[in-house]
Amino acid sequence: MDYLNVKEQPINKKEMLEINNKLSKQLEIEERNSTQTCIENFYKTKKPATLNDARVTKLDSSIDGHIVVCGIVKGIKNLILPLRSKF
């Protein structure tokens, strides 16, 4: 059990900043890769619509199977992603 008593050498501030920068860059790369994989699992439009184009002025009776969300909803992504899932 001698390894529990071994103390690590202290790291100076410059080395700590370098380590943190390397880790943050690696995390950014991993996040970009995982986001791209995640996006492939969901239906998406080719081009985003503007707010004016997406706005509905009157409700058509032929609309069926839609969910209407009014207002600002915290965590809306967690609601929408399962609805757009391909699986």
Domain ranges of the chain: 9-83
Tokens of 61: 């009776």
Selected residue with higher pLDDT from 39 and 12: 12
Helix (H) or strand (E) run with residue 31 in it: helix 13-40
Do 39 and 77 touch, CB atoms closer than 8 A?
no
Selected residue with higher pLDDT from 22 and 41: 22
State how far the Cα of 57 lies from the Cα of 43, in Å rounded to an integer: 25
Widest distance between CA atoms in the chain: 77
Global pTM value: 0.32
pLDDT digits (tens, 9 = 90+) for 73-85: 788 888 888 887 7
Query: What is residue 14's predicted lDDT score, i.e. its pLDDT?
Result: 87
State how far the Cα of 37 lies from the Cα of 86, in Å rounded to an integer: 13
Selected residue with higher pLDDT from 52 and 9: 52
State how far the Cα of 68 lies from the Cα of 54, in Å rounded to an integer: 12
pLDDT digits (tens, 9 = 90+) for 24-83: 888 888 777 766 656 676 667 677 778 888 777 777 777 777 777 777 778 888 888 888
